[in-house]
Amino acid sequence: MTVKARLTPEETRERILVAAEEHFRRVGYAKTAVADIASALAMSPANVYRFFPTKSAICEEIARRMLAASMAQVRAIAAEKISAADRLGEMVLAIHRYNKGNFTEERRLHDMVENAMVESWGVIKAYLEGLTFIFADVIREGMVAGEFAVQDPIEAALSFKQTHVSVFHPTLIAHCAGMDAIDDLEEQARRLTRFALRALKA
């Protein structure tokens, strides 16, 4: 008789997150209960609550992981050996495509994103602050290289990020994608970047 290996707490926690994300994608965050996640794992809801006190806590951790994956893409682009302007442009497109693909086109994940913005704002805020610092580092390198003429890289990074909010924010991406008169969202992202880069160079 084979004895089933006992899972570590970390392994159990990971199984819960994987099952929860799959359920959120399949039926939606709002329609998923902790009991559904527990049932998918053949465990009791009480066991899930040992690792996550609420469904929102599960949502927060999934959001943290997804945003960490986006941040890893941005950091990789920031390290490329190309001009600061080209890196900023690549980062904008990477963020837009990631958010559009994971948080907008995945319609059933959208309410999870909305919940995270309300109940797990700390996770979202940390991500946005991280983006600002990466943008600032690249802008600072552009200043040293003579590409940009701004005085304060942090202020410039904040403005650069805010310029692109319509192509970064999942809810705004969803709204813009449904507007007949709007141009292609990736072209909009490129146009906003061209505008922002002209300001950095002025």
Tell me the per-residue pLDDT of 144-185, one tens digit each, with 9 for 90 and over.
999 999 999 999 999 999 999 999 988 788 777 655 444 588
- Contact 141/170 with Cβ under 8 angstroms? no
Whole-angstrom distance, CA of residue 3 vs CA of residue 6: 9
For Cα atoms 48, 13, 45, give the angle at the middle one, nearest 5 degrees: 10
Give residue 197's pLDDT: 98
* Tokens 């970064």, residue located: 168
Task: Give me the CATH topology for the region 9-51.
Answer: Arc Repressor Mutant, subunit A (1.10.10)
* Residue pLDDT, tens place only, 2-49: 545 688 999 999 999 999 999 998 888 889 999 999 999 999 999 999
Cβ contacts of 127 within 8 Å, gap of 6 or more: 67, 70, 71
- Contact 97/56 with Cβ under 8 angstroms? no
**Structural domain spans, the chain:** 9-51, 60-201
Architecture of domain 60-201: Orthogonal Bundle (1.10)
- Mean pLDDT, the chain, as a whole number? 89
